[in-house]
A and B are shown apart, each in its own frame.
Chain A
Amino acid sequence: MPFSLLKYGLRDDYPFEKDADLPKPTDLKRHYDVVIVGGGGHGVATAYYLAKYHGITNVAILEKGYLGGGNTARNTAVIRSNYLTPEGVKFYTESVKLFKGLSNEFDFNIMYSRRGQLTLAHTDSAIRAFRQRAEINRHFGGDTELIDPQQIRELVPTLNMNPGDLPVLAGLWHKDGATARHDAVAWGYAKGATQRGVELHQLTEVTGFEVENNTVRAVKTNRGTVQCGCVVQAVAGHSSLLAAKAGFRMPILTYPLQAMVTQPVKPFLNPLVSSPALHCYVQQTGRGELVFGGGSDPYPLYNTRSTLDLKESLLAHAVELFPFMANLRLMRQWTGLTDMTSDYSPIMGLSPVDNYYLDAGWGTWGFKATPICGWTMAQLVASGGKVPELIEPFAMERFRSFRQVNEMGATAASH
């Protein structure tokens, strides 16, 4: 083994290049049938399903940074479908189903791990809302139930049942709650898409669009201009900025969201635990680290800086939930940009520009929707603009017709 390593060390060509997951970068072509802006999970998933199920392979993914380097790498990798509205539950339930099969589909391990998600109720009104969510979930094929404090103690023996003088009265137990390696999801989709002929162009930033007769003819980038049949926008925390280049405004405000992770410890926490009242959710990764997240910052900002005050409040709540965590050290912290809509639901489907499709407004709930977004956006593109039933309720138009899909109660700080 050391000798073969030494041999490779002395060779000019990298020995594994022929087996590399992604092909070498190429020049941009003059024309693509589909240009996907954004090489995160949603963008590459859309390309993957277009290539695999719709036979559309003249596709370019334009990514200004690197594959999965934006919010795909900055979320806390929670997969769940226990939402409140029928529209939301139906949509996310399909996503959870797709997640379960992804490792098989890719022949690549995304480390999908079904843990169950436990959301804590500290008030009577929260219990009422949970009961409603459990019923709606069950009606649409999800596996969610209300459980009592004794059952919670059995599931999470280390949990403080009276955190911050807010006694735990009940829990929403969502058995389909899961986690996965978020980077691997993007890598798996990108590998599958590029193997089928899709081009992934990293370090390629979109600088503008050539729009004629309300139709995008070409996409301008820092590496030249490409003609396009249609455009898919999947840029997570930069939706308003890209939409402005295409000439329209969106019902979005962009807030930073900070999260952090501790040093690894022995496995003690199987479910994902979340307390909306304490604005805190905690999970233990497969490597033993504890991941924390909370709510977004209190005011809009395009910056991934860290603030001490948010750390302090988030950690204070986390320590209330699991007091022994006070002895753990933080290893890393990071920030993502969350494009928040006022109803906490995404914006998917058509835009004011005819051949420009939106996958935006993904706030704090984007990772868990990655597969179903790719699936439905691919259908939308392949059909030339016929909106799939599953994403019809998420049209941007809903804000003008006052038909919002209110997921605030099932989203805020419970991801």
Chain B
Amino acid sequence: MKIMQCPLNGPRNISEFVYGGEVRQMPEPNLCSDEEWAEYVFFHDNQIGLVQEWWLHAPSGYWFIAERHTATDDIVRTFDPSELFKERVEFAPNPEVSAA
């Protein structure tokens, strides 16, 4: 079976991991247009090459980021999200909820 290097648990079978989609910038849910939101949720680059993706090690509930080639399936690097996300991401409050 294919082995993936989990930054927390070391090398594990690929069947223990869940794919979580490409790492991309989420628009502000309460400020962006419906069009922008649809673009973010449904549309993908889906190209051949090295991409950064979210992966979950399901047994330990640990999310991390992997650099993987989408044609060769080579996993080049896996690392803790703190390398990319240095601080907590805050989003603007939902005006409808705050008004209520």
A residues in contact (CB < 8 Å) with B: 240-241, 244, 249-254, 298-303, 305, 307-309, 342, 399-400, 402
The 9 closest A-B pairs by CB, nearest first: A299-B19, A240-B46, A251-B42, A399-B42, A302-B71, A400-B38, A249-B43, A251-B43, A302-B48
Q: Contact at A249–B48, with CB atoms within 8 Å?
A: no
With a cutoff of 8 Å between Cβ atoms, the chain A residues found around residue B18 in the complex are 298
Contacts A250-B44, A253-B46 known; 14 new A-B pairs at CB < 8 A:
A240-B45, A240-B47, A249-B44, A250-B43, A299-B19, A300-B46, A301-B71, A302-B48, A302-B71, A303-B73, A307-B1, A308-B1, A400-B34, A402-B34
28 A-B pairs with CB atoms under 8 Å apart are A240-B44, A240-B47, A244-B45, A249-B44, A251-B42, A251-B43, A251-B44, A252-B44, A252-B46, A253-B46, A254-B46, A298-B18, A299-B19, A300-B70, A302-B48, A302-B70, A302-B71, A303-B72, A303-B73, A308-B1, A309-B1, A309-B2, A342-B42, A399-B42, A399-B43, A400-B34, A400-B35, A402-B34
User: Beyond A342-B42, A399-B38, A400-B38, is A301–B47 a contact (Cβ under 8 Å)?
Assistant: no
CB-CB under 8 A from A308, the residues of chain B are: 1
Residues in chain A near residue B44, CB distance under 8 A? 240, 249-253
Q: Pick from A252, A305, A399: contact of B73, CB below 8 A.
A: A305
- The residue on B at minimum CB distance from A305 is B73
CA A301 to CA B19, docked complex, whole Å: 11
Q: How far is the CA of A253 from the CA of B43 in the complex (A)?
A: 9
Chain B 10-45 residues near chain A, CB threshold 8 A? 14-15, 18-19, 34-35, 38-39, 42-45
Closest partner residue, chain B, to A299 (CB atom) = B19
Residues of A within 8 A of B19 (CB): 298-300
Bound CA–CA A241/B47 (angstroms): 6
Cβ–Cβ contact A241 & B43, under 8 A:
no
Which of B15, B35, B45, B73 is close to A309, meaning CB atoms less than 8 Å apart? B15
How far does the Cβ of A248 sit from chain B's closest Cβ, in whole Å? 9
B71 touches A303 (CB 8 A): yes
Contact of A402 among B1, B38, B71 (CB under 8 A): B38
A249 touching B2, Cβ below 8 Å: no
* Shortest distance between the CB of A245 and any CB in chain B (Å): 11
Q: Which residues of A contact B43 (CB under 8 A)?
A: 249-251, 399
Q: How many residues of B contact A (CB 8 A)?
A: 21
- Enumerate chain B interface residues (CB-CB to A < 8 A): 1-2, 14-15, 18-19, 34-35, 38-39, 42-48, 70-73
In the assembled complex, which residues on chain B have CB atoms less than 8 Å from the CB atom of A254? 46
Chain A residue, CB-CB nearest to B21 = A253
A342 to B19, CA, bound (A): 15
Distance in Å: Cβ of B81 to nearest Cβ of chain A: 18
Least CB distance, B63 to chain A, in whole angstroms: 15
Q: How far is the CB of A243 from chain B (nearest CB, A)?
A: 9
- Are the CB atoms of B46 and A250 closer together than 8 Å? yes
Q: Which residues of B contact A300 (CB under 8 A)?
A: 19, 46, 70
Determine the chain B residues whose CB is within 8 A of the CB of A342 once the complex forms: 42
Q: By the criterion CB–CB under 8 Å, are A301 and B42 in contact?
A: no
A236 to chain B, nearest CB (A): 14
A303 partner residues in chain B, CB cutoff 8 A: 71-73
* Cβ–Cβ < 8 Å partners of B34 in chain A: 400, 402
CA distance A332 to B1 in the complex (A): 20
CA distance A302 to B45 in the complex (A): 13
Question: Which residues on the A side are within 8 Å of B70 (C-beta)?
Answer: 300-302
Are the CB atoms of B73 and A244 closer together than 8 Å? no
Residues of A within 8 A of B72 (CB): 303
Find chain A residues with CB under 8 A from B42 CB: 251, 342, 399
* A250, A307, A342, A400 interface centre (most CB from chain B within 10 Å): A400
Minimum Cβ distance to chain A for residue B77 (Å): 17
Q: Provide the bound-state CA to CA distance between A315 and B48, in Å.
A: 30
In this complex, which of B35, B44, B46, B72 has the most chain A Cβ atoms within 10 angstroms of its Cβ?
Answer: B46
Q: How far is the CB of B42 from chain A (nearest CB, A)?
A: 4
CA distance A303 to B71 in the complex (A): 5
Question: B residues within 8 A CB of A240?
Answer: 44-47
How far is A253 from B34 in the complex, measured between Cα atoms in Å?
21
Q: Give the Cβ gap from B57 to chain A, nearest Cβ, in Å.
A: 14
Chain A residue at smallest Cβ distance from B38: A400
